[in-house]
Amino acid sequence: MVDRTVDFSTRHPLHPPPTEEGSGAQAMSNTIPIIDTHQHLIYPERYTYSWTAGIPQLAGKAFRYNDYLVAIEGTGVSRTIFMESGADDPHWQEETRFVRTLAETPGSLIAGIIANCRPEEERGFEAHVESLLSPKLVGFRRILHTEPDELSERPCFGSNVRLLEKYELTFDLCVLARQLPLASKLAAKCPNVQFVLDHCGVPDIAAGEIGVWRRYITQIARLPNVACKISGVLAYCAPGLATLEAVRPYVEHCLEQFGWDRTVWGSDWPVCTVTSDLRTWVKVTQQLIATAGESNQRKLLHGNAIRIYFLDESAA
């Protein structure tokens, strides 16, 4: 059974841990099993996904669980957390139940599910949460980067998200860089809820905009109940320019501000295929963290995901 006791003194350190002794170049340990905390599944024969229409690499295409297994071959990914995939109304509720059947299949690598939700609605939020409760449910997400800024500022939004504390469930934040102050405001309203900032705060890497984003990341990282997901950044690069050097300053700033105890890794498959692929992102990550101590590498790639999302350690 998973120990779901919350100890905020250790789950949300305000400061990065001390630098490990014995600094110097260290090889990436390929023996570290990777937990992918951000993996989508798209089943166009079951649901519609309007958000993919303007993305040629994704539009009308299927990205099923078996396709994901092929994509991770040889990468070291051992378990995954399904991230709600933006199925259109009214299918977003049914999507979670369908993926739960995949996760509960013997041998499935799906260790957890982050479900869709509508905290902006005054009624029905807690009933929705309770209807989905299962050992596989680890959190919720409401896409905000494509919604009006005022959505997360509605009084019921914060009060509904605060209910997740009762169930020890997380809330993933997907916001544009300019919306990071809104994300900070929401997290500050819910100090006992664990938030995870998706995709390094969605920086506009293609446009080379970094100054304002850096400042906002520094601000949100001061909140001890916010962790950062190192994911998605290759997709924000200009076509043909999705390289290690393009994403390095963004990843390094997030690691510096959040520290090794409050960062997790995600593939953002299949969105990562817009400019690259999953295997390349794994290799880029390995290069970016190659000089870190193995214990810090293990935190980013494995241990923090278990702790932050309350995954079953017996399956690790």
pLDDT tens-digit readout, 114-168: 999 999 999 999 999 999 999 999 999 999 998 999 999 999 999 999 999 999 9
Report percent pLDDT > 90 for the chain.
Answer: 87
Q: With a cut of 60, say whether residue 95 has pLDDT above it.
A: yes
CB-based contact 15:56 (threshold 8 Å): no
CA gap 252, 119 in Å, rounded: 32
What are the residues facing 229 on neighbouring strands?
A: 264
- Which residue segments constitute the domains of the chain, with CATH numbers given? 32-315 (3.20.20.140)
pLDDT tens-digit readout, 46-71: 999 999 999 999 999 999 999 999 99
Mean pLDDT of the chain: 91
Note the pTM of the prediction, 2 decimals: 0.90
State how far the alpha carbon of 88 is from the alpha carbons of 46, 48, 85, 172, 243, in Å.
11, 6, 9, 19, 33
Rounded to an integer, the average pLDDT of 235-251 is 96
Say what the pLDDT of residue 31 is: 80
Say what the pLDDT of residue 101 is: 98
DSSP result, 90-139: THHHHHHHHHHHHHTSTT--EEEEEEE--TTSSSSHHHHHHHH-STTEEE
3-state secondary structure of 140: strand
Token pair recorded at residue 311: 């995954």
Q: With a cut of 60, say whether residue 9 has pLDDT above it.
A: no
